[in-house]
Every structure is written in structure tokens, then in C-alpha cells.
Structure 1
Amino acid sequence: MEFKKPTLDFKKRRLEDAQTIWDLRTIAKRRTPAAAFDYTDGAADDEISMKRARQAFRDIEFHPSILNDVSEVDTSCEIFGGPAALPFGIAPTGFTRLMQTEGELAGAAAAAKHKIPFCLSTLGTTSVEDVSAANPLGRNFFQLYVMRDRSISYGLVERAAKCNFDTLLFTVDTPVAGARLRDKRNGFSIPPQLTIGTVLNAIPRPWWWWDFLTTPTLEFASLTSTGGTVGELIENAMDPTIQFEDLKTIREMWPGKLVVKGVQNVPDSAKLAELGVDGIILSNHGGRQLDRAPVPFQLLPEVVKELGPDFEVAMDTGIMHGADIVAAIAKGAKFTFIGRAYLYGLMAGGEAGVNRCIEILAEQVRRTMKLLQVSSLDELTPEHVTQLNTLDINKVRGVPADKLQDLF
């Protein structure tokens, strides 16, 4: 028996102790003021979409094979014209430096280390150019909001192309902002404003407070040259007039792969495929836009059946475990994206926390594949997964309306 050597590196110790994404979430909540944490952790209205998405993954039943050699497994894949060492990438997130001041630079550096794609949001807090510098040899994607002032969006497209971003995620699920009730209850605003409540909540977290006050001003870094306040830029980013003609314009401008993010039904998926986009991402924006929206994982088999196995369909929303990723690939997804899971890691420990998040998910992916006894992602099929159904009519009957969300 040997005693474990103590370490004075508290960050390293707390991250090593984290064995799941939920563990990282617990650390993140402890280290981050409530308003900033809830901005990440929360969703729209009653948060039913988010809860359903997570429940859909909990309800999968795996069907393993037997007597296959899985001493080595290959987790690599091709997505949107390039390689990825793992079947997931980092999703675009807005206002990322609010959660932890290393922000997108931590995400991009971790993505480079693990050879997975990193996606920068239009409303990111690190510029296109700085992300490119942090991940010069890796795969960078850019998520585009088509803004009311179209010239701003066109300028961002040109800058991303100049910085060798290889894929553009054209986002279509944000004509207006969703109702983020946690933010309203916390008195949280963008840009952040100090109140007695936020100051008191930050006092037990001096590390966050110090970083916030001593690092560069929080701003939408790729939009600083466009003018306007943060609030005006957010309002400008949500445009209810966006149409298919805008997609055509961006397609003509963008030299790389064009992927549409936020698709939520089969007919739209088919129409986009007919229009020649390079792929789609089934997403309900992490439950942050329309509550009670379709669950991407449940929609996935229908879309794949309609578009065929060769069309590139990715998905996000609800992923908290590597087994979720494996199940999505088995059901026909070519790739997945993580949002909150990445941000929990960021809040738990900056770049080191993002690395730990990726390590946890990668280990879970590999272990799940080995237990299913498949040695590559290509061997995963729908027969490996059954989608059970927690929310059936017998369970709902007689449950008061205000208690329904507890079923999720």
C-alpha cells in the first residue's frame, strides 16, 4: 500500500477528482457567481426542452455485440471536409469570457491539443483573428448570425475566410431571443451591471472577481469595429426577417463548407439538402430559444432516413456523457457538438478544465465503444441503440400540469 502524495496544485487536484461532466458542473457552480453560472446552465422558459434532451439520452438502451477484438478502438472521423480525432467538437457559445476570463482562447487551445474542431460564435468574446492565432493548425469553424445590418455579417464572413476558418455554421433558430427566466430573476443583463446582489454573490469567489476586474473589458471581440453598445449588438443580431435568400447570399460569399445550424424538422432538412448545403446541425439551441422544441436526438433518425446515409447530419443539445455521443453516432449522426459541457469545464479550471472535459468525454466514448464491442465509429449502427420512452401517456395521465416538468 502506498500513500497518495499530496499536491499544493489545487486546480490540478480538483480537476483530477472530477470523473464526469456533472462533477465539473458542481465545481463550476461553486467557483462562479450565480448570474454568470445560470447564464450558462439555464435555458428558456420552463427549461423543458433542455430537460427533455438530457432525458432522451438517459432513456437509451444499448445492445452490445460479443467476442469482438476491441483492444484498440478508432474514435476518429471525417466531418465537413476534414478530420477530427473524436466524434465531437466545441460548439459556439456567446459571451464566453463572462464565465471564465480565458474564454474562447482556452477552448481553441484545448481543441487544438485534442485535434477536434472549435467553433467561434458571432457573439464570442475573442476575435476571429485571436482564435486563429490560438489554433493556427487546427480546424476552426465560425458560427454566423445574419444581422439586421447585413454588412456586419458579410464583413465577419470575409474575416473568417481570411483567417482560414474552414466551415461556416449559418444559424437559423434565433429570429428573436428566447425567454431566459433565470437571467431575469438574477437581475442579469448584458452588458453585466453591478448590483448589491451580484457583488455579495461574488464575494465568496474572489478569484472570479479578480479576473473580471483585471482582464480586458468584456465585449463582442469580432464586432468591436462595428460600433454600438453590447445591448444594441445583441438586438441587431436577432433578425426576424432572415430568409432563404440570405442563405444564398452567404453561400456565394463563403469559400469553405456551409452548414446550417438550428434545423428542427424533416421538411426543412430536405429543402436544405436540395439547395446544396454541405451539412446540417440538428439543434434547438440547447433549449435556449423555443421551449418544448423537438429533441434533436429523437429527430435524428427521421432526418437521416430522409436524407440518406451520405449526407452529413450533426447534432447538439443535451450531451453530458460520452455514451450520449456514441448513441448519436449509432443513430446516424456524423458528428456532435458540446456546449454546456465545455463551459462547465471552462468555469471549473480555464483551459485545464476544458482539457479535462474533453478527456472525460473521450474516455467515456472509448469505454462505451469497447463495451459495445465495436472498434470504429463506422461499426456503430441503429441496432446498437433502442430509444425508450420515459414520457408515456400512462405516466402523464393524472399528473398536474405544474408537475409535468418534474418528469424530466
Structure 2
Amino acid sequence: MKRQLPNPSELLDLMQFKRPEFDGKKRRLDSALTINDLRTIAKRRTPKAAFDYTDGAAEGELSLARARQAFEDVEFHPGILKPAANVDTSVQVLGGSSALPFGIAPTGFTRLMQTEGETAGAGAAGAAGIPFTLSTLGTTSIEDVKAANPHGRNWFQLYVMKDREISYGLVRRAAEAGFDTLQFTVDTPVAGARLRDKRNGFSIPPQLTLGTIVNAIPRPWWWVDFLTTPKLEFASLSTTGGTVGELLDAAMDPTISYEDLKVIREMWPGKLVVKGVQTVEDAAKLIDLGVDGIILSNHGGRQLDRAPIPFHLLPQVVREVGSDATVMVDTGIMNGADIVASIALGAKFTLIGRAYLYGLMAGGRAGVDRTIAILRDEIERTMKLLGVASIAELEPAHVTQLQRLAPLEHGAAARARAGA
């Protein structure tokens, strides 16, 4: 091998120095390549009680862990020699379009996580061309969300409260503001036992203890934002004192029934979906009643621990209600591949909650934009690797669900045997 002295011009071609980024937020967010990266940044920047409210689930957090494991236990089956240089990620859902097969799920107390709150989520969703959902327990008003996303799709999530008139008033306000879809939530008759929140003494407004003060010392930016921005206000609660569980128990009503669904259906002029469906039987009954869609969800594992895994339930529900029914899914989505797998197995749409909040806590509106960009890249890359050029081409043959938890006997079968 003949050797020579390095040519300086060739060295310059080989070694391109990266221009330094002086914007700390941009540098921080650019370093996040996955939703888990955003979660790590969020945990570093957010006080423990607020972070744990987002990150945690009910009791032993088994439902959440199982939901995430279910997505990890996916095997894809790519097709070869199927050109997909450009992919179309857009979908039609509930009478309108979405540039991506996911939207932002409703989240409560959002401005406590980061002060831009729902305004950041709605603005980012509008810019990306995807729907944004405001929670009944949101910290930004219906009208302000509309102002933040004036031309995009805004959805509203409804809790039916003990005082029905509060709920009815919210329905009217959402309709007047031009929200096009209502999510009637059925999985929260009472608050789940969110033990992280109880151990942290998490309350609205935050209660200062020695522990919270010590935890806040390395996070002064959060407290500066919290103390120098408008007071937390909730769309439907007349009081904001007490623990999260106490607030939820005051607002929720374990007596809600199909009669309440009928009343809301008559009031609401847009699309109506039921959120929190967890059995095949309930899914079939709701579709037969003519609701516009259902969301398979166990509330992110935050209500009944050991509840069914929505992603596992998905193929059974689609087989029962038909492929034309609008079946959506949430809980546990942390990667664009999770979304692709859900669509392949029959979901018409998916919703992200924690993934959105991790981005919000990591960097406000820019962090939500980064969440959407990460998921978009993962969806596009997964589709290209599968040899799929559009969402419509995804089908069950692309996915195998590898099951770790095989039931000895399904609940319905057990009930039938007991009645025999």
C-alpha cells in the first residue's frame, strides 16, 4: 500500500464540523430521537409530583405496563420489492381528514405539567393537521382552544358529572365553538387509585412541603413559569381545592347510564364517540345503537388496574363490529410503529396522551411539535420498510401479536359456564 501525506483539502471534505446550537431548548429537543428521550428530558425538568401525575397509573400500574408490552410484542411482516419511496399518512376519520393516523388525546390539569398547556397542544395539532381533544378537566377554556387552533379539528371529551347541567353547558359551549366531535367517556365513574399521586400529596393547587421545595430547587424555571402565568382554571369545576382523587370524585358520577348517552346524543350536533370501551360485547352494543365511533381504552391504565389491553382487544372488536365501523384505540402508544400496527389490525385512528405530555414538559409548544415529528418519522419509516405506500394498504397480514398473557378462560366464557 503506497502511503502519502494527508491532503488538507481532502481532510476538510471528510471532517465537517457541526455548527454549535446556542438555543438551549432547540438543542435539548433536537437531541430527543424517541418519545422515551422526551420522557427523560421531561422528568429532568418537571417537579416530581407533576411528572408522576403524567407518568403514573393506577395501583400497581399493571395495565399500563401490559399495554406497552403488547406493542413491544408485535412482529411485522414486510413485503419485498414493493416500492414505497413516498408514503401517504393521511386518513379520513369521523367526517374529516387528518394528516396523520393519530390525534392528541384529552388530558387533565395540563397547564400544571407546563404552563403553555392545551394552547401548545392545540396549536401544534393544528399546524400538523391532526385533531386535538380538550378534556373536561382541561386547564384552558373551550373558547381559548378554538382560538389556538381556529382552522383545525377540535374535539371535546365529556365527563357526565353529578350536576348534569355542568356537563350540558359544556356540550353547548363546545358546539357553539365549532368543535366537531364529542368523546363521551364511560370508564371513570369514580377516580382510580393513583398511588403515586397519593404518595406525592399531589393536589390542585400544589401544596408546598419540605419535599416539594427540595425537589423544586434544581427546577426553578418550572416554578417561575407557574408563579408568573395566569392562575390554573378548570373548564367545569367551581372549586380547585383538594387532591386529584377528591376533585375527580366530586365531578364524576357512578350512576351514568345509556340514558345519559341518549340525552347527550340528542344535544350534540356533531360526531359522537364513546371513550373507554373495554369489552367486545359493549363495543357491539354501542355500534348497534348508532354511535359514530368507539375508542378502545382503559384510560391509560389510570382507572381499573388489570383492565383489558386495548391493543389486544382490537382485532376481536373489529371482527365483531365490522371493518367499516370507526374503531379507535389508545393507551400505551410510544412509537409510530405502535400506531402502524394498530391501523393494520383494523383501527381507524389512534390517540396519544402521555407522549404528547412528555413533549410538552420537555419544551412547551416546541416539545409538542417534536413529539409529532418523531411519531411522523417513525410511521413513515415503518410503512416504507413494510412496503406500504398508504395507510389504506395496511392490513392484518402485516402484523402478528405475540401474546405473553394467554387467558386460561375468557371472562365471557366463565360467566356463561357459571350460568349453565
**What TM-score, normalized to structure 2?**
0.91
Give 2:97's aligned residue: 83
1:347 corresponding residue in structure 2: 361
SS in 1 for 2:236: helix
Aligned: 1:243 with 2:254:
no
1:228 aligns with 2:239: yes
Aligned partner (choices 361, 365, 380) of residue 375 of structure 2: 361
Rounded to whole Å, the distance in 2 between the matches of 1:75 and 1:354 is 19
User: Secondary structure of the residue that 1:170 maps to in structure 2?
Assistant: strand
Structure 2, unaligned stretches of length 5 or more? Answer: 1-14, 409-420
1:182 match: 196
Corresponding residue number in structure 1 for 2:400: 386
The letter for the 1-side match of 2:239 is G
Aligned partners of 1:229 and 1:113: how far apart in 2? 32
Tell me what 1:404 maps to.
none
Is residue 203–residue 241 contact of structure 2 (8 Å, CA) maintained in 1?
no
Q: For 1:142, what is the secondary structure of its paired residue?
A: strand
Match of 1:280 in 2: 294
Partners of 2:141 and 2:172 in 1: how far apart? 13
The aligned amino acid for 2:101 is P
Q: Distance in 2 between matches of 1:165 and 1:393?
A: 41
**2:218 matched to 1:204?**
yes
Q: Which residue number in structure 1 is paired with residue 269 of structure 2?
A: 255
Q: Deviations over 1:330-355 (max 9, x none)?
A: 00000000000000000000000000
Deviation for aligned residue 1:171: 0.1
State the distance in 2 between where 1:125 and 1:393 align. 40
Q: Aligned letter for 2:304?
A: L
Tell me the secondary structure at the aligned position of residue 360 of structure 1: helix
**Map of 1:401 onto structure 2:** none
Cα distance change on mapping 1:391 and 1:302 into 2, 3 Å: closer
Q: Distance in 1 between matches of 2:380 and 2:259?
A: 42
Number of positions where the alignment pairs a residue of Structure 1 with one of Structure 2: 391
Match in the other structure for 1:117? 131
Counterpart residue number, 2:77? 63
Do the aligned residues in 1 keep the contact of 2:190 with 2:248 (CA within 8 Å)?
A: no
Give me the whole-angstrom Cα distance separating, in 1, the residues matched to 2:318 and 2:179: 27
Q: What is the deviation of 1:234?
A: 3.1
Which residue of structure 2 lines up, in the alignment, with residue 332 of structure 1? 346
Q: How far did 1:237 drift?
A: 2.0
- CA RMSD after TM alignment: 1.3
Q: TM-score, normalised by structure 1?
A: 0.94
Deviation at 1:233, TM superposition (A): 5.2
How far 1:200 sits from its partner (Å)? Answer: 1.1
Deviations 1:52-111 (A, max 9, x none): 000000000000001111011000001111100000000000000010000000000000
- Supply the AA of the counterpart residue of 1:245: E
Q: Is there any run of 5+ residues in structure 1 with no aligned partner, and where? A: 395-408
In structure 2, what is the equivalent of residue 130 of structure 1? 144
Corresponding position of 2:5: none
1 CA distance for matches of 2:62 and 2:161? 28
- Out of 328, 333, 351, the residue aligned to residue 319 of structure 1 is 333
Q: Kindly tell me: are residues 117 and 393 of structure 1, through their superposed partners in 2, closer, same or farther at Cα, counting changes over 3 Å? A: closer
Report the CA distance shift for 1:230/1:313 in structure 2 as closer, same or farther (over 3 A): farther
User: Is residue 2:168 matched to residue 1:154?
Assistant: yes
The residue type paired with residue 251 of structure 1 is R
Q: Does 1:34 align with 2:34?
A: no
Q: Is the contact made by 2:122 and 2:132 (CA closer than 8 Å) also made in structure 1?
A: yes
Q: Which residue of 2 aligns with 1:14?
A: 28
- Cα 1:229/1:87, change in 2 over 3 Å: same
Percent of aligned positions that are identical: 74
Structure-1 separation of matches of 2:406 and 2:303: 25
1:355-408 CA-to-partner distances (Å, cap 9, x unmatched) read 0000000000000000000001111110100011234699xxxxxxxxxxxxxx
